[in-house]
Structures are given as C-alpha cells and as structure tokens.
C-alpha cells in the first residue's frame, strides 16, 4: 500500500538530484576484489563493554550536550535558507545518543523518507543473502526481462552495487523529467514496473568499466535479490510478500528497526532506490550496524568483510567518491565532509538526507530534512563538519 507522504509531488519530480547523485566472495568470505587498490581502511570499532545494542531502545547520555547544541541548533532556525528545513538531527557516539533534536512538527516517532539512503539499505539486504548462501556477489543478476544471449544478463551484483553496470541511464538532468530516466521510472511511464523500465535501457559501456549513478540499477538488484529467495508460488506470484517478509525478519527486525516501512510497485518490485520510511533513531540503528562491521549484539548479520567491501572505492572510468551503494569521503574525490575524517562513509539521499558513519570517531550522525536545491549540499557538508567536530 502506498504511504501518504509529506512530500510535494512537484518537488518529487523536479528536485531529484540528491536522490540520484546524493546521493570476490563466497558466502561468509573476505572480499579480495581490487585488493591491490584497496585503501588502508580504519578498523571498525566494537560496541563498548556495558553499552547495550539499541534493539529495544537507545541509551541516552547528556542529550542536551551544550557544546554540540551550540553548533547544531542553528539548523533548526527557520531562517536558515542555505540548509533549508532540518527535520531531525541525531548524533551517536560510542553506541549512545549524545545529541537529538527535531524540527517543528517532527519528533522521534516521525517516519521520514529515505530517498537514496534506501540504496544503502539494499546493500545490507544483499549482504544478508550472501551470508545465508542465497546469492554470490560475482553472480550474474540474470534478469529475466533480457532474452537468452543478451550481454546484459551477465551484469553481476558487484558491478551493479558499484554502479558500473554499463547501462545507458541518465539521471543528471533532474530538472527535465521528460529525459530523466529516474523521474520517468519513479513517477512516469515506469512507475508500475520499475524493473521493466530499467531493463529497457541499452548497454552503453562494458560492465565493470564505467561508473554511472543509476537508481534503476538499484531496483534491478532488488528484483534479483527477490528471485534469489527461490521459486514463486501461486499465492504470491510476484514474490512481493516473501521478499517483504525477508527484508523485515532477516534485517530490519533483527536490529530493532521497528519503525520502518518500505514501498513496492504494482508489479511487486521493491522501490529500493528511494522509498523507505523510518524514524531518525531507526536510521541510526542501520548506521550502527555498519559501524559494528555487520555484527549486532553478538550475532553476525552481514558476512565478514562485507562492510569493508561497501566502503572500498570504485576503480572505473568516471568513478565518483563511491563504494558499493555507499558514498565515501576520500579527499582526492571531492569529499562532502571536507573537514571530517577520510574514513567516513555515508548513506546519502535527495534533499539532504544523510547517515554518516565514522569508524575513527566511533560515531554515527543522522540528518533528515528538506533542503532546497543542489547548492545546499555544500552548506550541509560544512554544517555536518561542525557538528562532527563538536561531538568529538
């Protein structure tokens, strides 16, 4: 069932840039692909002794921290034109909430749209299936919309997660929905079957050689992950019910994301690129899962080495500051957080949605809001730098 959103339809169609732009393993194994190019990854910290995982609720410590508040509270000023509307800001340090604030009309129970942060949730879902031997990273997605012998059937999950599938996909012209593939897929002719739409795109580059951001690719991955659960039956011909149950029971509920919803299209496809809805506290739990190397309360949710994989930079022509459905903060690739640690990695979405994970500071920062345009990202980055520094 489609949720009622506090999102203006005109804004959804014409302001999509952050949604799109900011936004070799066997199961359980360690990722070796491109190992000779892998940076020195900062070790992911374990949960501190005596600090409970927030499955049933967050531990709060000095939530009105004056040092953080002196910097962070400025975002909730209605006159802050550069940032736009900030609806939620949450800082987690050492597994505890040390700062939490909400804009007028929002609170800790408000479910807010993910936009492209949903792509990072999808990356976790793929990781869960790898851990359970349901698919392999280097396996072909093999979408059934393609005929036998079509080269596009050979696109792998790894290539797609890295956004190097090679499909002819255009998202950068977000102000023109007629030519913007993502807008057409989500709100136009493709909205009833998003996977059918993306698989209609031709092959433009050899898979694995060229980076190009694509919301359609994420939805194609999700469809493959749904098929990987096994044959469908007459009671659930699209596989929607089974895939939804898997998402909630094997990922979201295990880490206590009890205030999260997900949207599917009429053909049963998960809108994995864009349409999750969760509270700031639930998004912070998701960030903590990756900060803790995919381990939650002593149980491994993601396969060993998977978090290192998603935060390893893509090596391909035109590559951005990107890993595997997560944004990175490498200083030589135009980082969003210019004054924050290079080891930070982010789930990032349209209109300034952010989950920032910083291993070297044992920190997760969540910002949710409604920023006006692409120019807001510089202001958001500068603001987040100040919040992170104050929280350290």
Residue 153 is predicted with a pLDDT of: 97
Q: Domain ranges in the chain?
A: 9-391
Out of 3.30.950.10, 3.20.20.70, 3.40.710.10, 2.40.10.10, select the CATH number for domain 9-391: 3.40.710.10
Q: Quick one: pLDDT at residue 216?
A: 98
How confident is the model at residue 174, as a pLDDT?
62
pLDDT at 17: 39
Q: Which of 315, 324, 318, 311 has the alpha carbon at shortest distance from 359?
A: 311
* pTM (2 d.p.): 0.91
- Residue 35 has what pLDDT? 40
Three-state SS for the chain is CCCCCCCCHHHHHHCCHHHHHCCCCCCCCCCCCCHHHCCCCCCCCCCCCCCCCHHHCCCECCCECHHHHHHHHHHHCCCCCCCCEEEEEEEEECCEEEEEEECCCCCCCCCEECCCHHHHHHHHHHHHHHHCCCCCCCCECCCCCCCCCCHHHHCEHHHHHCCCCCECCCCCCCCCCCCCHHHHHHHCCCCCCHHHHHCCCCECCCCCCECCCCHHHHHHHHHHHHHCCCCCCCCCCCCHHHHHHHHHHHHHHHHCCCCEEECECCCCCECCCCCEEECHHHHHHHHHHHHCCCEECCEECCCCCHHHHHCCCCCCECCCCECCCCEECCHHHCCCCCCCCCCCEEEEECCCEEEEEEHHHCEEEEEEEECCCCCHHHHHHHHHHHHHHHHC
Q: Which portions of the chain are predicted below pLDDT 70?
A: 1-39, 173-175, 177
């Amino acid at each position: 069932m489609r949720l009622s959103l506090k999102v203006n339809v005109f804004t959804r169609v014409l302001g999509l840039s952050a949604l799109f732009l900011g936004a070799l393993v066997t199961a359980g194994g360690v990722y070796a692909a491109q190992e000779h190019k892998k940076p020195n990854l900062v070790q992911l910290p374990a949960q501190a002794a005596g600090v409970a995982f927030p499955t049933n609720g967050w531990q709060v410590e000095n939530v009105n921290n004056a040092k953080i508040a002196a910097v962070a509270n400025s975002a909730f000023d209605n006159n802050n034109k550069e940032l736009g509307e900030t609806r939620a800001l949450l800082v987690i340090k050492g597994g505890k909430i040390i700062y939490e604030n909400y804009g007028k009309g929002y609170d800790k129970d408000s479910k807010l749209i993910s936009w492209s942060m949903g792509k990072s949730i999808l990356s976790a879902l793929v990781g869960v299936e790898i851990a359970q031997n349901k698919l392999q990273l280097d396996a072909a997605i093999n979408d059934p919309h393609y005929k036998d012998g079509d080269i596009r059937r050979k696109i792998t999950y790894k290539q797609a997660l890295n956004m190097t599938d090679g499909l002819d996909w255009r998202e950068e012209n977000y102000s023109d929905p007629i030519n913007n593939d993502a807008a057409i897929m989500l709100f136009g002719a493709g909205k009833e079957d998003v996977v059918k739409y993306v698989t209609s795109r031709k092959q433009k580059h050899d898979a694995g050689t060229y980076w190009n951001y694509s919301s359609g690719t994420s939805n194609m991955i999700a469809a493959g992950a749904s098929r990987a659960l096994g044959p469908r039956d007459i009671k659930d011909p699209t596989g929607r019910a089974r895939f939804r149950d898997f998402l909630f029971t094997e990922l979201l509920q295990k880490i206590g994301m009890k205030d999260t919803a997900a949207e599917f299209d009429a053909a049963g496809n998960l809108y994995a690129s864009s349409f999750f809805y969760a509270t700031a506290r639930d998004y912070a739990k998701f960030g903590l899962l990756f900060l803790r190397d995919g381990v939650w309360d002593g149980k491994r949710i993601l396969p060993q080495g998977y978090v290192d994989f998603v935060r390893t930079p893509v090596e391909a022509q035109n590559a951005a500051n990107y890993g595997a459905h997560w944004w990175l903060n490498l200083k030589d690739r135009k980082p969003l957080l210019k004054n924050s640690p290079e080891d930070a990695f982010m789930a990032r979405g349209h209109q300034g949605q952010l989950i920032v994970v910083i291993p070297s500071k044992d920190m997760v920062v969540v910002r949710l809001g409604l920023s006006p345009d692409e120019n807001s990202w510089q202001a958001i980055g500068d603001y987040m730098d100040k919040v992170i520094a104050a929280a350290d």
